A and B are shown apart, each in its own frame.
Chain A
């Protein structure tokens, strides 16, 4: 086993990796940007090295500097987390060339599966069903137009180097193709530096269901069941659960075997996720392989009792999988909610600013993966996820009830969060029935009329009296001017200049 590893990531996922590594007696090294100088993950690691400025292109994406740091501090391996350099074959290769173990698959497998067209060909060759569409990245409009016509509308445009929903557009009719293509290409160009796209048949009301796999470096592969990730908005997952209401044991095994065939054929090792879409008739189609640890991996951990980061570290250090497929058992139901700094009442606008108040009561087995504390700042530099809440219980109903209880007791002030929205989703009939798909939120849920007020008298009195007391105190000047100016929608009133957070964090750190 490794003695020391470097974590080339930040926030909650860096902490997630540090936690397991420490439990295994492995020394941990964090790298950080200007903004993250005193972020929680840098304090939890044994060592922390500054690698650059706040924008990720000047820090967390600087492969050279990260490798250099690993060599300087004597780290034997690098865990890339998710995002940033995690799915960049060149980085895995650089690690290898420098004698550092990349905790993930080999660069050949990353490159092979990272190309959606190559991955699709591989799937076809291995008798894994795929969605009809183009097999080569395209940029030429007239050719794209012709192919779209052949496949039949609606079609989906996807950036060939994409991920996370960026550079993705649905086109319902020929008239919209040109403008949608232009937006998708410009997003793809700015996010990935590559404006080639590919198009495929658009499947209506699909579910996004993915299979977690573990593969060692000796040819052994197991799958750890599915994750239902269909609760999405703009292709960003919001709520994930396992098992999926629509997957029975037979389908799980079929999908699991397909997933195993693909990763075996790709010469893949370490943890990976094979994504499928499932249509209304429960027919599944291969989508892509995420060659890294996923954001939503905790739900699989709680349902299988495995620590995926520990498995990753064991695999990367050359150990054989200690589990065979028949050893994998599933218990109960697990659900994850992603808490994000965004204003769900205002078109989900990202909400930046300082967290002035944070008070939560998790308890009773609730799991929280986070990298943020009261007093921390949500910046524009990184993604707006504050934390992941994960509930595990013996039944789906109990897991949902546990999640709702914890969400109601999770209070954050200073920024807006999507917690009210998450609770509305958990309360809607479609979610309760398990009857939802990837377009449910945008096409149905968000178009509904707001519900009428049905609160009891004490609640109405509480709201009214609280507002009155607040106003009374305010006019009496109990709060000083500083406070008062903060009342008007904190994130709007705050000035962008990064306040003096460096100094303030320095104080917290002491």
Chain B
């Protein structure tokens, strides 16, 4: 497993990467020399052609996106291995890849307002509920157009982190 593709948000190009050795790699077919050290489990020091880059990575297995922080700037990129690409081909045609859009509580708090009910259609950006935590009221918005399947909590109830608040479809 040494071949990968990446697509960085804000660019249309799909890059190909091949890790050919401990200090050599091919980036879009061009050889680059690198050196690397993991400073912590998700912080990496990488030297590309002797230039320093320190990055932190949060990788999401489900959609194969990495959120990377380089010099306090955030980049989002999709990184897939050869194996991922093969798996993807297999699932296409099976109609797989149903998107989960359920709303979970990002932190413990109190539901100050519940703006939707089961069966309701909501538009992207619409405020679904208001969660009060850390002394601030936080508006939780719909990330896409969808229909409310089920509402699991009432206004003024307190919720734990990761509690399923609203099921969407």
Contacts and interface: CB of A to CB of B under 8 A. Distances in A.
A492 interface: yes
A411 B106 CA distance: 23
Contact of B160 (A409, A467, A486, A496): A496
A467 B66 contact: yes
Given A380-B108, A486-B41, A467 B2 contact: no
Interface stretch (B55-63, B90-98, B116-124, B145-153): B55-63
Interface stretch (A70-78, A285-293, A342-350): A342-350
A411 B133 contact: no
Interface in B84-104: 104
Nearest to B105: A496
Contacts of A452: 10
B34 A465 contact: yes
A186 B107 contact: no
Interface string A459-501: 1111111111111111110010001001111111011100000
Interface string A406-424: 0111110100000110010
Contacts of A380: 107-109, 133-134
Given A383-B134, A491-B106, A465 B162 contact: no
Contacts of A420: 69, 72-74
A245 to B, nearest CB: 25
A68 B22 CA distance: 64
A487 B43 CA distance: 11
A463 B15 CA distance: 11
B54 interface: yes
Contacts, number: 192
Given A350-B138, A467-B57, A475 B70 contact: no
B32 A461 contact: yes
How would you classify the secondary structure of chain B's contact residues: helix, strand, loop or mixed?
strand
Question: In the complex, which of the residues A350, A411, A464, A470 has the most CB atoms of chain B within 10 Å of its own CB atom?
Answer: A464
B68 interface: yes
B17 interface: yes
A458 B59 contact: no
B44 A466 contact: yes
A502 to B, nearest CB: 18
A382 B53 CA distance: 34
A346 to B, nearest CB: 8
Nearest to A475: B1
Contacts of A466: 36, 44, 46, 53, 55, 57, 68
Given A350-B107, A380-B133, A470-B59, A460 B53 contact: no
Contact of B141 (A347, A463, A479): A347
B4 A384 contact: no
Interface residues of A, number: 64
A489 B74 CA distance: 14
Interface string A343-379: 0010111101000110100000000000000000000
Contact of B46 (A191, A350, A462): A462
Interface in A437-468: 450-453, 457-468
A464 B29 CA distance: 13
A345 B74 contact: yes
B77 to A, nearest CB: 6
A187 interface: yes
A470 B44 contact: yes
Given A186-B112, A383-B134, A468-B17, A495 B162 contact: yes
A460 B62 CA distance: 23
Contact of B8 (A166, A190, A450, A460): A460
A474 B46 contact: no
A186 B73 CA distance: 37
B137 interface: yes
Contacts of B19: 465, 468-469, 472
Contact of A408 (B10, B72, B109, B132): B72
B136 to A, nearest CB: 7
A55 B2 CA distance: 50
A47 B68 CA distance: 42
Contacts of B68: 463, 466-467
A345 B75 CA distance: 11
Contacts of A475: 1, 81, 83
B91 to A, nearest CB: 19
A408 B15 CA distance: 26
A492 B32 CA distance: 35
B55 A462 contact: yes
B72 A488 contact: no
B66 A496 contact: no
A465 B41 contact: no
Contacts of A473: 38
Contacts of B39: 357, 359
A349 B39 CA distance: 27
Given A186-B112, A359-B39, A495-B162, A465 B25 contact: yes
B47 to A, nearest CB: 9
Question: In the complex, which of the residues A166, A420, A423, A460 has the most CB atoms of chain B within 10 Å of its own CB atom?
Answer: A460
B166 to A, nearest CB: 16
Nearest to B49: A458
A350 B6 contact: no
B11 A453 contact: yes
Contacts of B8: 453, 460, 463-464
Contacts of A472: 1-2, 4, 19, 81
Contact of B40 (A234, A407, A413, A465): A413
Given A458-B49, A468-B6, A496-B160, 15 more contacts: A380-B107, A464-B17, A465-B25, A467-B57, A469-B44, A471-B81, A487-B42, A487-B59, A487-B60, A487-B61, A488-B59, A489-B67, A491-B107, A492-B162, A496-B162
3 residue pairs, one from A and one from B, having the closest CB atoms: A496-B161, A453-B10, A467-B79
Interface of B: 1-2, 4, 6, 8-11, 15, 17, 19, 25, 27, 32, 34, 36, 38-44, 46, 48-49, 51, 53-62, 66-75, 77, 79, 81, 83, 104, 106-109, 112, 132-141, 160-162
8 contacts: A356-B41, A359-B43, A420-B69, A467-B59, A470-B66, A470-B79, A488-B60, A496-B162
